[in-house]
Amino acid sequence: MDRRIPVTVDSIIDALASAVAAKLRADLGGSSGSASIVPRLLTVDQAAAYLGRSKEAIQHMTAARKLPVVRDGRRVFLDVRELDKWIEESTEPAEF
């Protein structure tokens, strides 16, 4: 008797999504049962990861004043709300 479980595209996608969510929770230091604090201010490295760009690209964008920064002495931070705003303003509408 064949006892294999049928594999569907949806089951593969669900398994992959669960694995990605677990990886993200682990990387962010959170767990599925506890609330985690999400920082509003990000370092240049964190902002680069958030936008999917390199650290150098973020530095160029801040130097060109394409992205506003928050300074604390020599330290530079980027406000996640400003990053989201930049994304929205940079998004081009799709043509159907």
Cα within 13 Å of Cα(30), Cβ side: 14
| pLDDT of the chain, 96 residues: tens digit per residue | 567 767 788 888 888 888 888 887 777 665 555 556 789 999 999 999 999 999 999 999 999 999 999 999 999 999 999 999 999 999 998 888
What is the predicted pLDDT for the residue at 58? 96
Q: Of how many residues is the chain composed?
A: 96
What is the predicted pLDDT for the residue at 85? 95
What is the predicted pLDDT for the residue at 29? 65
Topology, domain 39-96: Arc Repressor Mutant, subunit A (1.10.10)
Distance CA 70, CA 28 (A): 22
What backbone torsions phi and psi does residue 10 show, to the nearest 5 degrees? -60, -40
Chain centroid, CA 32 distance in Å: 18
Q: What is the DSSP letter of 86?
A: H
* Cβ atoms 78, 67 nearer than 8 A: yes
Residue ranges covered by each domain of the chain? 39-96
Global confidence as pTM: 0.60
